[in-house]
């Protein structure tokens, strides 16, 4: 899947030039993640310098600067901060998540991802029968699980007066759910409009939607791998 994610990101970079830098960065990151192999914490720590080098060379400015300021010896600190974080984004969380994601994405059945209990990174509408099933994707292990379409993923609000779904012809297979109770938003990938979409990748293409949401006072439930 890592190679497929990288290829999808490059395809989207050509289709959505406003998100090109982020998508090309993620393509390189996904390829790197696909090569990560470790069995012990020490082996994982050994991957940290290579990640810092990759980010310094190709990441958006905020992450690249954070990589330049980090020392490989801070690996344990970065990892601990990630597990203890309340859910807000910091560059250090990105590095821990990038390292742990290849491991978490391959957790066997019966092993729970602790990050699944936190807010999802993206939603997905998947054709099912005569309708669309709604799923949410964990930002760490990338597993999808069902969730009621009529509720806010952040606060469980169900009032139609508080929830809105926004679409734009510029991103025909993306939509945004906003909640005026908790002022959170979630990008949703509609697979009925693009069956080749990969939710955690296609969500990165929606940068202009993210910017619109922030300008209107909403906050993202879970930042993506570009920190947005």
User: Which pLDDT score is estimated for 226?
Assistant: 80
CB-CB contact of 26 with 200 (8 Å): no
* Confidence band for 158, pLDDT divided at 50, 70 and 90: very high
Q: Is the dihedral of CA 104, 108, 114, 117 positive or negative?
A: positive
The angle subtended at Cα 146 by Cα 187 and Cα 143, nearest 5°, is 75
Lowest average pLDDT, out of 80-84, 94-98, 176-180, goes to 80-84
Q: What is the mean pLDDT of residues 25-31?
A: 96
User: Which pLDDT score is estimated for 118?
Assistant: 83
pLDDT at 83 over 80: no
Q: Where are the domains of the chain?
A: 2-104, 114-220
Residues 98-125 have pLDDT tens digits of 998 988 888 887 778 878 888 899 999 9
State the SS3 of the chain: CHHHHHHHHHHHHHHCHHHHHHHHHHHHHHHHHHHCCCCCHHHHHCCHHHHHHHHHHHCCHHHHHHHHHCCHHHHHHHHHHHHHCCCCCCHHHHHHHHHHHHHHCCCCCCCCCHHHHCCCCEEEEEEECCEEEEEEECCCCCCEEECCCCCCCCCCCCCCCCEEEEECCCCCCEEEEEECCCCEEEEEEECCCCCCCCHHHHHHHHHHHHHHHHHCCCEECCCCCCCC
- Identify which of 64, 135, 138, 76 has the alpha carbon closest to the alpha carbon of residue 101: 138
- Yes or no: is domain 114-220 CATH 3.90.1670.10? yes
| Residue 23: both structure tokens together | 């998508």
CB-CB contact of 6 with 28 (8 Å): yes
CA distances (Å), origin 61, targets 52, 95, 138, 193, 209: 13, 15, 25, 33, 20
pLDDT > 90 in the chain, percent: 68
User: Which pLDDT score is estimated for 107?
Assistant: 82
Place of tokens 């602790």: 114
Question: What is the reported pTM?
Answer: 0.92
The radius of gyration computed from the CA coordinates of the chain, to the nearest angstrom, equals 17
CB-CB contact of 178 with 164 (8 Å): yes
Q: Is the dihedral of CA 46, 50, 55, 56 positive or negative?
A: positive
Tally of residues, the chain: 228
């Amino acid at each position: 899947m890592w190679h497929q994610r990288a290829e999808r990101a490059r395809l989207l970079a050509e289709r959505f030039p406003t998100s090109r830098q982020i998508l090309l960065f993620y393509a390189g990151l996904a390829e790197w993640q696909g090569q990560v192999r470790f069995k012990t914490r020490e082996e994982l720590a050994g991957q940290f310098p290579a990640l810092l080098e990759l980010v310094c060379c190709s990441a958006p400015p905020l992450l690249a600067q954070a990589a330049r300021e980090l020392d490989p010896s801070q690996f344990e600190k970065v990892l601990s901060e990630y597990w203890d974080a309340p859910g807000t984004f910091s560059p250090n969380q990105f590095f821990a998540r990038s390292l742990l994601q290849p491991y978490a994405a391959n957790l066997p059945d019966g092993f729970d991802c602790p990050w699944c209990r936190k807010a999802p990174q993206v939603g997905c509408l998947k054709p099912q029968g005569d309708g669309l099933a709604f799923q949410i994707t964990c930002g760490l292990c990338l597993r999808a699980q069902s969730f009621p379409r009529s509720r806010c993923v952040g606060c469980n609000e169900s009032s139609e007066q508080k929830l809105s779904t926004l679409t734009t012809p510029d991103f025909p297979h993306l939509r945004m759910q906003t909640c005026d109770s908790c002022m959170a938003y979630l990008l949703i990938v509609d697979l009925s409009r693009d069956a080749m979409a990969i939710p955690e990748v296609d969500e990165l293409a929606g940068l202009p939607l993210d910017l619109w949401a922030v300008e209107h006072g909403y906050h993202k439930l879970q930042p993506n791998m570009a920190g947005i």
